[in-house]
Structure 1
Amino acid sequence: MRLLLLLCLPLFAFAQTAPPYQVKFTTEKIKIDGVLDEQTWAAIPTIGTFWQYFPADTLKAVYKTEVKLTFDDKNIYVSAKCHAQHKNYVVLSYRRDYRAGSNDNVSFIFDTFNDRTNAFLFGTNPLGVMREALLYNGATDNTFFSEFWDNKWTAESKIYDNYWTTEVAIPFTTLRFKEGTTQWLFKSYRFDTQINEQSTVVQIPQNQLIMNLGYSIPIVFEKPLRKTGANISLIPYIATGNSQDFVNPKNPNNGTRFNVGGDAKIAVTSGLNLDLTVNPDFSNVEADRQIINLTRFDINLPEQRQFFLENSDLFSGFGSYVINPFLPPQGNLGGAGNQILSPFFSRQIGIAKDSTTGLGVPNRIVYGARLSGKLDDNWRVGLLNAQTADDEFKGISGANFAVASVQRKVFSRSNIAAIFVNKQTLHPEMGRNLSSFNRVGGLEYNFTSRDSRWQGKAYYHQSFSENKQKDAFANGFSLMYSVLKYTFRWAHDWVGKGYDAEVGFVPRKDFLRINPTLGFSFYPRTRLVNRYSVGVALEQYSMPNVGVTDRTAGPFLSMSFQSSARMLLSLNQNYTYLFSDFDALRSNGKLPSLKQGGSYTYYNASLNYFSDQRKKWWLFAQP
């Protein structure tokens, strides 16, 4: 009996539910200056006790983090007093939307619909640098973190001898919530670089991400939340420029251009948002990270245009993701190259193929409208319509893009979702091989258990096009079970030869992909190593009538060091089947090429490594 109790204690420790925190209403004007001298802060209690997440996950944090919440008619306020060993804090960048790792900082997460699936994140550091993000799919993987979302809120911090404080004001107009509600879910976590500790206001096992929404505490407001009036944001622009194409004097873009347009964001309800854009100008969007693509296939880069960001998972979250539970957190490039396929990829809107050169070029967006958000506690909806312009000089026809999606919550953290995508080419005669329409319909089931041990997905998509191709389908299934000592994940995707999603991301067709992974984790807690995992992984592609075309298989070693350095080392056997001749040495035909139809087996070692980023000099290596 005693043995049974001892075995159950760790499970109970992580499963227990904290009592609700009472958020008091205040009439005092709170000045956001980082100095917690208002009477309100002195009168209200601290929210919970912070527990270690790293280097251990069963101990209380060494230094206290005192977080408090209050609200008035317009804002929710957060204060934090972060005790520390001394005041030599690490701040790697003054850039907004910094990444939390290896910085001194504190983050606050609000799950405003209590669904443990979608949430808003706000964070700041000792210098008052701010970051915000949208979390979706339960934040069970770094993939489900959108750092490109920006909105209106304020924060200030102040440094003292043995602690630093921060004060945050978030307008209710920035958040989406059900009017009249009295309860949200909340969590907070902190990185303390001086003692290399990560801590959270609710205990989280190390095999789960620190931002996982399955581990939150309820907060109860003293009175129901109300709308604070009209929530409308307008962003107009005027731009002018001059260009001259000396090779093509008849280029209609020659000469001086004068452009006028703008964006609008309108809160239809407290949970539903309408985005509008007319003749948008995306010149101020952050440039993509430069990535060297050594594969034979396209990779997808994350969407950064604000018009497409809020509730983006309702549109671009369908399909299959590359998920490696043993990859170091810093190894995720903000979503770059992390999808196997998707029926809708918003970056396809605003780009088209130049019929004269065959290259992808920008295509002006005439207008766009996007309605997305929560209808109630269980239903979410997304509607999008956008139109691009004709470009006769480049042989590009304008097109109308329409997307409709709906998501229904089932069980505690799971959902059933459907999507329909339609692309209507307005003048197909303007270009080469342009079809009049392309459509995709899809149905998906996303499963996450309440404690995040089980995660899975099943999907089926069907495309419809003018030429009515056979095998125009894509389907897949994934399931992962993860506990402290081991993780197993199975995933497969089957894409038919005729699957054609012109507005999606489909880098290859006519394949069956399988991707099982099994790993065992150990926690030696030595002076050097905090945790290490060993296992084996396989990723294999095969085609009908051909057999296996690509395979990578082998053991791996993942290590987390006490210094916060991370490493993933894998030894792989690779197999590649060639569909065309390949001049591997780039000799321009001077040396023999590898011949079409040949298959080759070769071996390689792959290393992901991130050293201790708290140091002035640090190193990362990534294949």
Structure 2
Amino acid sequence: MRILTILIFILISKTALSQSGKSDTINATFINQTLVFDGKLTEAIWQSAPVIKNFTQKELDFGKPSTELTKVAIAYDKLALYVGVWCFQKTKTIHAKYMQRDFIYEEDDNFQVALSPFSDRRNGYLFIINPNGARADLLISGNESANKDWNGVWDVRTSITNEGWFAEIRIPFNSLQFRNDSIHLWSVNFERNIRSKNEQVLWQGWTRDCSIYCLVNAGVLKGLRNIGYAKRFELKPYGLGSFDKRNHNPTDWTGKIGADLNANLTPTLKLNVTANTDFAQVESDRIAVNLTRFNLFYPEKREFFLEGYQNYQFYLGNSNELFYTRKIGIENFKSVPVIAGARVFGKMGANNIGLLSIETGKRDTVPATNNTVIRYKRDIGSQSYIGAIVTSKINSDLSNQVAGIDGAFSTSRFLTNKNLVIGGLFSRSFDKNKSGDGAYAWRVFADYPNDLIDNFIGLSSVQENFNPELGFLNRKNFDNLSWFFRFTPRWFTNLGIRKMYFRPWGFDLFRTHTSGKVESFLNESRPLGFFTKSGERFEYNLYQQYERLDHPFHLTDSIAIPSGKYWMHRMEIQLGSFQGRRIWADANYAWGDFYSGKINTLETSMGINVNKHFNLRTDYTYNNIRLLEGAVNTHELAQYINMAVNPRLNLTMFVQWNSLDDLLFGNFRLHWIPNVGSDIYVVYNRGYNKLDNLKFNRPDVSSGAAKLVWRFTF
């Protein structure tokens, strides 16, 4: 036993060295002249500015210098920060499939800039570019958490020569939040991904136990002096024309105007005000085939709610959220008008603040409603916090409030440089004319998320009467034990294997809180899995599942699974090719028990890159279900087509077919960015129900909109 303990400690501590370069500081140069923003880096300032080029491999050859030269320099003027990037490599090895906003950067050569103007080394921004000038951006809110749906106001220009590809990035100070100091020290890090080699290099913090999200491992940006918000206000008025026709009803024509106002109350505290808000341009959700008795969770995509979202988070575990922004403006699966609202979010010293109040209007039987959230978090140490939240939903039919407290101890220095998080929360809901019995929820957990070993264990409970009207509950009246263990050693590397992927267990155990009886159990074991150096993957998985149904579960309109106790066992094989190639494919096949019978499931995905202007992706899922109560085959098809004229003009088409819900739906979306921060959208939706009687020229839903959003700063 002592020998085993020593071996495990050696494995864990093998890479327990600080992954920081000797030069961990980059100096910014102030410029007076106007830069020619073309991505060529030919101006004198780029030739004289201090550069950093000490990039180190995270993959594939850990700790070795980058095989391709990468250089970065930073300049600034009174309005913006500029990042100059030199990515040297042979032109024929450059992989760049996409041009559109929010491109799939995991499939392309890319360069990433992580920036934490707060210098709290926990919250920040991530700006990502590719050789075609495509842009993506994220809000970082922890070592493992980032919001991909946020869209900041910034720009990039790129150029490609026979020496490689080069870029100029412009980030207006108005787009960032930072302290009001005369001299600034910001946290910054850089990452480059070279897809032809599957090579990933970073300037600082190239540990495999953490990604570029780990701002605690970032370097230092020096030299910024006397910067501020030359323009404190951002006004984004919009005009909209739309139509909506459903079934045989007359066409509803609508004209609408509204506006969002953003004001920097302080350099780190921001106010958003919205009036007559509209979300017609938001991308459509993919309606998945649901073979469970629980609701599906859909992510937020509306811009107003995305920036600063980390200031409002309160995660209950098991896909449950105490505050879920999609509960605002949507009632009974139908949209309701957002009359007006305001948010204040940001930091004041070590205090993280999120205030929100939105008034929604009356529609049909849904009354006008006030939705309010107050969230507070206090930074403790370098990565830990304590916090509290209050949510409130009030209208003529209900009055619901929820209060909660939470906290977490987090460190990236456990066993020298390993990640460890220990946290907990407690909350209670309050409903008018209802007692508080059984209206509590709590959670405690410990997480060791690292490259070789990832181990998570958590206990949680949501009682029967806990009712977060502004939240999302996948289920209620449960006690839960979750324990996931993953082991990914770097074995057989001489055979082309990047790392093995074993999962001895990963289970969720639910029992009914009021009775103490086991309700659900799901365990996933992975006796064999691996990733290759060329980007392919393989998994062989075993599933054990138990479900206790106290009431019949309607799988379809004609098939109801009777109440009872069901043990199910399934096996699964997953195969995937490297998605950085021009043509790639994934396939998963699973078979085994499903309640009173059997199920076979095939999931496939394929991507085709015709050129940088035209990309296709097809996802298809097939289920063959044979039960004592009947048989059913389900089909789910999702077709994505993206045509990008340039990085500012693209057309996306999304068509989905769901046989279980008997629907066919298409979403067509034209997005033009005439100026960064301003947008023009043209959207058309067309949908069909009851496909047995499909008549293409008679859709059940036909709607469209044209929307202009223009940005003014002052």
> What band does the TM-score fall into relative to the shorter chain?
0.7 to 0.9
SS at match of 1:182: strand
1:570 alignment counterpart: 541
Is the 8 Å Cα contact of residues 365 and 386 (structure 1) preserved in structure 2?
yes
- Aligned-pair CA distance for 1:88: 3.7
Q: Judging changes above 3 Å, is the alpha-carbon distance between structure 1 residues 231 and 287 closer, same or farther for their aligned structure 2 residues? A: farther
Is the 8 Å Cα contact of residues 384 and 409 (structure 2) preserved in structure 1?
yes
Q: Judging changes above 3 Å, is the alpha-carbon distance between structure 1 residues 611 and 151 closer, same or farther for their aligned structure 2 residues? A: same
2:475 alignment counterpart: 508
SS at match of 1:286: coil
- Aligned-pair CA distance for 1:613: 1.2
Is the 8 Å Cα contact of residues 53 and 210 (structure 1) preserved in structure 2?
no
Structure 2: runs of 5+ lacking an equivalent = 1-6, 589-602, 604-714
2:440 alignment counterpart: 473
In structure 2, distance between residues paired with 1:609 and 1:44: 47
Deviations for 1:537-568, whole angstroms, at most 9, x for unmatched residues? 11111113251111112421442211123444
Q: Judging changes above 3 Å, is the alpha-carbon distance between structure 1 residues 496 and 96 closer, same or farther for their aligned structure 2 residues? A: same
**Residue 490 of structure 2, aligned match among 505, 520, 523:** 523
- Aligned-pair CA distance for 1:266: 1.5
In structure 2, distance between residues paired with 1:8 and 1:568: 27
1:443 alignment counterpart: 405
SS at match of 2:19: helix
- Aligned-pair CA distance for 1:45: 2.4
Q: Judging changes above 3 Å, is the alpha-carbon distance between structure 1 residues 582 and 172 closer, same or farther for their aligned structure 2 residues? A: closer
In structure 1, distance between residues paired with 2:547 and 2:573: 21
Structure 1: runs of 5+ lacking an equivalent = 323-339, 354-359, 429-434
In structure 1, distance between residues paired with 2:586 and 2:125: 29
**Residue 380 of structure 2, aligned match among 388, 410, 415:** 410
2:337 alignment counterpart: 364
**Residue 359 of structure 2, aligned match among 387, 400, 404:** 387
1:356 alignment counterpart: none
Q: Judging changes above 3 Å, is the alpha-carbon distance between structure 1 residues 167 and 218 closer, same or farther for their aligned structure 2 residues? A: same
**Residue 75 of structure 1, aligned match among 80, 84, 95:** 80
1:375 counterpart = 2:348: yes
Q: Judging changes above 3 Å, is the alpha-carbon distance between structure 1 residues 312 and 463 closer, same or farther for their aligned structure 2 residues? A: same
Deviations for 1:419-468, whole angstroms, at most 9, x for unmatched residues? 1001111x32xxxxxx2x00001111133203451023211111100112
Q: Judging changes above 3 Å, is the alpha-carbon distance between structure 1 residues 439 and 201 closer, same or farther for their aligned structure 2 residues? A: same
Q: Judging changes above 3 Å, is the alpha-carbon distance between structure 1 residues 611 and 447 closer, same or farther for their aligned structure 2 residues? A: farther
1:299 counterpart = 2:296: yes
1:31 counterpart = 2:36: yes
In structure 1, distance between residues paired with 2:325 and 2:122: 22
1:538 counterpart = 2:473: no
**Aligned residue type for 2:517:** G
If the length of structure 1 is used for normalisation, what is the TM-score? 0.86
Is the 8 Å Cα contact of residues 282 and 301 (structure 2) preserved in structure 1?
yes
In structure 2, distance between residues paired with 1:7 and 1:296: 41
**Aligned residue type for 2:366:** I
1:456 counterpart = 2:422: yes
1:611 alignment counterpart: 577
Q: Judging changes above 3 Å, is the alpha-carbon distance between structure 1 residues 484 and 147 closer, same or farther for their aligned structure 2 residues? A: closer
In structure 2, distance between residues paired with 1:370 and 1:176: 15
Q: Judging changes above 3 Å, is the alpha-carbon distance between structure 1 residues 559 and 320 closer, same or farther for their aligned structure 2 residues? A: farther
SS at match of 1:279: strand
1:205 counterpart = 2:176: no
Deviations for 1:337-369, whole angstroms, at most 9, x for unmatched residues? xxx21111111000113xxxxxx2111111010
2:664 alignment counterpart: none
In structure 1, distance between residues paired with 2:467 and 2:379: 29
Deviations for 1:253-312, whole angstroms, at most 9, x for unmatched residues? x75443221212111111111111111111012222343332211122111111111110
- Aligned-pair CA distance for 1:243: 5.5
1:318 alignment counterpart: 314
**Residue 579 of structure 1, aligned match among 521, 542, 550:** 550
2:259 alignment counterpart: 262
In structure 2, distance between residues paired with 1:272 and 1:470: 38
**Residue 119 of structure 1, aligned match among 90, 108, 124:** 124
In structure 2, distance between residues paired with 1:7 and 1:537: 20
SS at match of 1:294: coil
Is the 8 Å Cα contact of residues 57 and 203 (structure 1) preserved in structure 2?
no
**Residue 491 of structure 1, aligned match among 448, 458, 463:** 458
Deviations for 1:15-72, whole angstroms, at most 9, x for unmatched residues? 6775422222222322210111111111122225111111132211111111111212
- Aligned-pair CA distance for 1:176: 0.7
**Residue 602 of structure 1, aligned match among 543, 554, 568:** 568
In structure 2, distance between residues paired with 1:7 and 1:373: 37
Q: Judging changes above 3 Å, is the alpha-carbon distance between structure 1 residues 244 and 302 closer, same or farther for their aligned structure 2 residues? A: closer
In structure 2, distance between residues paired with 1:559 and 1:262: 50
1:335 alignment counterpart: none
**Residue 552 of structure 1, aligned match among 522, 529, 535:** 522
**Which stretch of the first structure deviates more once superposed, 228-237 or 149-158?**
228-237
In structure 1, distance between residues paired with 2:571 and 2:317: 23
If the length of structure 2 is used for normalisation, what is the TM-score? 0.76
SS at match of 2:17: helix
- Aligned-pair CA distance for 1:491: 1.5
In structure 1, distance between residues paired with 2:287 and 2:10: 53
Is the 8 Å Cα contact of residues 262 and 281 (structure 1) preserved in structure 2?
no
1:102 counterpart = 2:69: no
Is the 8 Å Cα contact of residues 51 and 203 (structure 1) preserved in structure 2?
no
In structure 2, distance between residues paired with 1:587 and 1:8: 56
Q: Judging changes above 3 Å, is the alpha-carbon distance between structure 1 residues 583 and 417 closer, same or farther for their aligned structure 2 residues? A: closer
Q: Judging changes above 3 Å, is the alpha-carbon distance between structure 1 residues 258 and 27 closer, same or farther for their aligned structure 2 residues? A: closer
Q: Judging changes above 3 Å, is the alpha-carbon distance between structure 1 residues 344 and 161 closer, same or farther for their aligned structure 2 residues? A: same
Is the 8 Å Cα contact of residues 488 and 518 (structure 1) preserved in structure 2?
yes
Higher strand share: 2
In structure 2, distance between residues paired with 1:492 and 1:227: 45
In structure 1, distance between residues paired with 2:517 and 2:247: 51
Is the 8 Å Cα contact of residues 351 and 377 (structure 2) preserved in structure 1?
yes
Q: Judging changes above 3 Å, is the alpha-carbon distance between structure 1 residues 388 and 107 closer, same or farther for their aligned structure 2 residues? A: same
Deviations for 1:137-180, whole angstroms, at most 9, x for unmatched residues? 23x2xxx2212222222211111113111111111111110011
**Residue 331 of structure 2, aligned match among 343, 352, 362:** 352
SS at match of 2:16: helix
Percent of paired sites with the same residue: 24
Is the 8 Å Cα contact of residues 419 and 442 (structure 1) preserved in structure 2?
yes
In structure 1, distance between residues paired with 2:119 and 2:180: 13
2:184 alignment counterpart: 182
- Aligned-pair CA distance for 1:588: 3.3
Q: Judging changes above 3 Å, is the alpha-carbon distance between structure 1 residues 419 and 569 closer, same or farther for their aligned structure 2 residues? A: farther
Deviations for 1:509-539, whole angstroms, at most 9, x for unmatched residues? 1101111122222112234311013132111
**Aligned residue type for 1:561:** T
2:670 alignment counterpart: none
In structure 1, distance between residues paired with 2:444 and 2:341: 33
SS at match of 1:395: coil
SS at match of 2:469: coil
SS at match of 1:347: helix
- Aligned-pair CA distance for 1:204: 2.1
Is the 8 Å Cα contact of residues 245 and 252 (structure 2) preserved in structure 1?
yes
**Aligned residue type for 2:460:** D
Is the 8 Å Cα contact of residues 32 and 154 (structure 1) preserved in structure 2?
no
In structure 1, distance between residues paired with 2:258 and 2:348: 30
**Which stretch of the first structure deviates more once superposed, 267-276 or 144-153?**
144-153
